[in-house]
Structure formats: C-alpha cells, structure tokens
Amino acid sequence: MDVENAAALENRYALAERMAREGGAVAHQYFRDRGSLAIETKRDPQDVVSIADRGVEQLIRKAIAKEFPEDGVLGEEYGLEAGTSGFTWVIDPIDGTSAFLAGMPTWCVSIGLLHEGKAVVGVINAPCLDEHYAAAAGKGAFLNGERLLLTGAITPRNALTGIGANSEVSPQSVAAMVERLLMENGNFIRNGSGALMIAYVAAGRLAGYIEPSMHAWDCLAGYCLVVEAGGSHLPFPVEGKGLTGGAPVLAAGPGSLDALAKIAQFVEV
C-alpha cells in the first residue's frame, strides 16, 4: 500500500474505532431498554432485527458518509451502496441479535473495511464485556490496547472451537461437523455471535471458528483481526455478488486451519 493509501487507511481505522465505540454505547443503551424494542422476524424465528440494529447502522453510515462520502458501504440492515474510492465498509450493527434480545452479553458491533478486495480494518466492540478488538493491515491486532499474538500451542484438541449454524445450512451437516470434532477429542462452543467468536480466535481463546455459510458483515472484521494476530482464514468472495451472498467461513490460529478444514469438510484448503 502506497503512502497516500496508508494515510487514507489510518484515517479510516480511526473512524472505525470511534464508531464501534459510539455504536456500542448506543446499542448498550438499547440493550438496557430491550423490553420496549419493536422486533421483526426476517427469514425465520431465529433471524430477528430490532430498532436497535437499524439505529446503530444508521449512526455508523451517517459518520462514514460525512467523512468519506466516496467510500462504499455494506451493512446487514440496509444493503450495499457502491463507492468510488476503492474502500468499502462492511458493518454488522449488532451481531448476535437473538442473544441481545434475550439479555445475554455475547453480542457485538462489528466494523470491517475492504480495500481492493482485502480486509484491511477490523474493529469489534462488545459493550457488555467491556472488550474492544481492533486491527488494521500491518499494524497488529489488539484487545483493549494489548497486542494479540497467536502461537501454535492452541489446537482443536486442547481448546474449544467455535461453530456457527443458521437456517441456510442443513441440521445434518452441522451435526456431522460437531460429531467429527468430538471424534477428534475436540469440543465446541456457540455463543450467538459469529463475529465475536472470530474475535476470540484472534485472542487465542478458541482454536478456530467454523460456519458453513456466513455473510461478509459477520466475518470480515474478524478475519482482519485473526490475520493481524498471526492466524489465517479461508478466502471470502468479495467480488460482485459474492460480497452480498453467503460463503463458508473458517478462521484459525497457527497450525489449526488444516485440522479444522477436515472437520468442516465444506471446502479444501
């Protein structure tokens, strides 16, 4: 990345950090008042959206439009607005809405940034947990200001693996994936937020995270975090309709990607 783009990235990284914190604070207030929120169902009873999701996304979009009007923006609630700068923001205003509405703390605000198809910024704010994850290309990954550095010590056999599922994948395929993980003496967790579980991979809390079909706004911020912490992930299709569709997701710490790919069995690495 040249000097001009590096400066552009730095400015956008600062905005992502600020808006993840501001969005998290607004979402947290909604969380306290969740009993009065209007809730709508999307694809199925597990796929819900509230005024909180829409309000936080509008807040973030407004800030981006003010500071970087030439940038593209993709958000879960309001879709894709194309830009001309080569930068595209990828926003999930509240990842883990079901957990949010149930009064559980495992939800987050996720803001990612693509530059020419590469995830170059990832910021995830989990207000209930007082955790702020932040990463930018070449600058490292951080949790509450402390550097995240992964080693090969954590594996699917000695640590938990995050597993995600939704109505777009068959129960049988997810059950088979869980069975293969257990047969390898591993174990799993699902906390309601795929974005947050990918951040946990970057923090060394999970060996990896697997989901057969996930959207860009759920995973790209976390992917940047994982790479900057020293891990790896499967490619995500960011060209054309690939950016707005679902794709298999796998993120892992050093040495775990191949083992988890065999457990996932939805793609070869």
Q: Is 173 found in the same domain as 119?
A: no
Phi, psi of 185 (to 5 degrees): 65, 25
Residue 42 lies in a domain: yes
pLDDT digit string (tens) for the chain, length 269 residues: 565 678 999 999 999 999 999 999 999 999 998 887 766 655 554 444 678 888 999 999 999 999 999 999 999 989 999 999 999 999 999 999 889 989 999 999 999 999 988 999 999 999 999 999 999 999 999 999 999 999 989 999 999 999 998 878 888 989 999 999 999 999 999 999 999 999 999 999 999 999 999 999 999 999 999 999 999 999 999 988 889 999 999 999 998 999 999 999 974 43
Q: What CA–CA distance (Å, rounded) separates 117 from 124?
A: 20
Instruction: Give the β-pairing of 146-148 and 187-189.
Output: unpaired
Q: What is the CATH number of the domain that holds 135?
A: 3.30.540.10
Residue 201 lies in a domain: yes
Phi, psi of 79 (to 5 degrees): 75, -160
Nearest 5 degrees, angle CA 151-CA 153-CA 158? 140
Residue 128 lies in a domain: yes
Q: How high is the pLDDT of residue 35?
A: 80
> Final residue of a domain: which of 89, 118, 148?
148
Q: Is 135 found in the same domain as 80?
A: yes
Domain range spanning residue 255? 160-264
Nearest 5 degrees, angle CA 253-CA 96-CA 158? 30
Q: Is 20 found in the same domain as 117?
A: yes
Query: pTM of the entire structure?
Result: 0.94
Question: How many domains does the chain divide into?
Answer: 2
Q: Is 189 found in the same domain as 62?
A: no
Question: Which residues are within 8 A (CB) of 172 and not within 5 positions of it... i.e. 6 or more apart?
Answer: none
Q: What is the CATH number of the domain that holds 239?
A: 3.40.190.80
Q: Is 81 found in the same domain as 58?
A: yes
Q: Is 26 found in the same domain as 139?
A: yes
> Final residue of a domain: which of 148, 182, 201?
148
Q: How high is the pLDDT of residue 269?
A: 38
